[in-house]
Amino acid sequence: MRGYQFTGFNPDEQGKSRFDQLLNIFLQLLTYTSGDVSEALKWLNELDKQYSLTDDGYAMGDFIDDLKNKGYISDDQQTGEIRITPKTEQGIRKKSLEEIFGKLKKSKQGDHRSFKPGQGDEQNAETRQFQFGDMLEQIDFTESIRNAQINHGIESFRMQEDDLAIRETDYKAQTSTVLMIDISHSMILYGEDRITPAKKVAMALSELIKTRYPKDTLDIVVFGNDAWPIEVKDLPYLQVGPYHTNTVAGLELAMDILRRRKNPNKQIFMITDGKPTCLKIGKRYYKNSFGLDRKVVNRCMNLAAQCKKLKIPITTFMIATDPYLQQFVQEFTEMNQGKAFFASLDKLGAFIFRDFESGKRKTVF
């Protein structure tokens, strides 16, 4: 006789099919395995053995078949390797967004509102007299004709500059953000996985901007010995390498990207767990992992000062508690007049979300 099996009550799982419940776990595992489907399924099998995630009615083979039929995974025709599809990549981003930021409704308009009028795309009820430099499309012709009739009469109708009325628009602050992610070897040292929370934050932030702030831009830069940009779709596959920390290269690339952005508001978010230890001088790498090398630190400070002149605030999220590292971050922040957070791994997403949201309520000129 089969007995009863008791499990913990999870209100979020109620009403979900067995496939949806397993898919939720599968997407989480893909983040930890950097998009390796085979390893994620292997881990899922181990969890199934330990916690009985499936039963005779719906086994692991059924779940894999459903993943293929629903377009979440596909077989590479050349290598035979199982890969995730763009649908799964978007699912991982949405899962990260829900986990860190909560469910957000999709908006067709950028939602960075301020209390000052300016060039925008949403009209309000206020009008004012025409001034030199106003655009033709800003003229409220109904109100302008009404003014002309009042000022000159219907019989001798004419319109002059003093009759023109301008319809105000609500200013919306558009922001260009560069998110820098440290992928040096220290991000997985000492038995602590720091790269996975950083990836989750990046995926959640990208999905947040796409759904709630579609007029904003987000560029992602990773830095180790060198720095290079990556696409949002590449985030699930991001891995730590045997690199030192070339913060200078990351900042230089971030500044170069922001120079090409036309938005008036620009900012850099930097997630790192250690000190800068590397510079590239010509074709040669200058490295020093012992203490704070003044040659490297001074270059970082110079870039922080340049960003300040360009009105690009840098917000540093430091995943480290060493006092001398905190002192470096404080000096770096003071030089840029930005912000710094000494965030724990489980609070990293909340820190970045609050700072990103608060930054949208003000405009940097």
Q: Are 111 and 215 in contact (CB under 8 A)?
A: no
Q: Are 163 and 314 in contact (CB under 8 A)?
A: no
Positive or negative torsion for Cα 333, 221, 96, 81: negative
Mean pLDDT of the chain: 81
Closest residue by Cα to residue 348 from 130, 172, 201: 201
Quote the CA–CA distance of 349 and 289 in Å, as a whole number: 28
Across the range 345-363, mean pLDDT stands at: 62
pLDDT above 70 coverage of the chain, percent: 80
Q: Are 317 and 352 in contact (CB under 8 A)?
A: yes
| CATH class as words, domain 175-359 | alpha beta
Structure token digits, residue 192: 């602590």
The 175-182 sheet, strands edge to edge: 227-230, 217-223, 175-182, 265-272, 314-318, 339-342
**pLDDT at 365 (0 to 100):** 31
Q: What are phi and psi of 209, to 5 degrees?
A: -65, -40
State pLDDT tens for residues 10-46: 555 556 788 999 999 999 899 889 889 999 999 999 9
Lowest mean pLDDT of 150-164, 244-258, 273-287, name the range: 150-164
**pLDDT at 363 (0 to 100):** 36
Q: How confident is the model at residue 1 (pLDDT cuts 50, 70, 90)?
A: very low
C-alpha torsion 347→349→355→359, nearest 10 = -170
Planar angle of CA 181, 182, 184, nearest 5 degrees: 150
- pLDDT reading at 119 higher than 80: no
Structure token digits, residue 2: 């089969």
Q: What are phi and psi of 304, to 5 degrees?
A: -60, -40
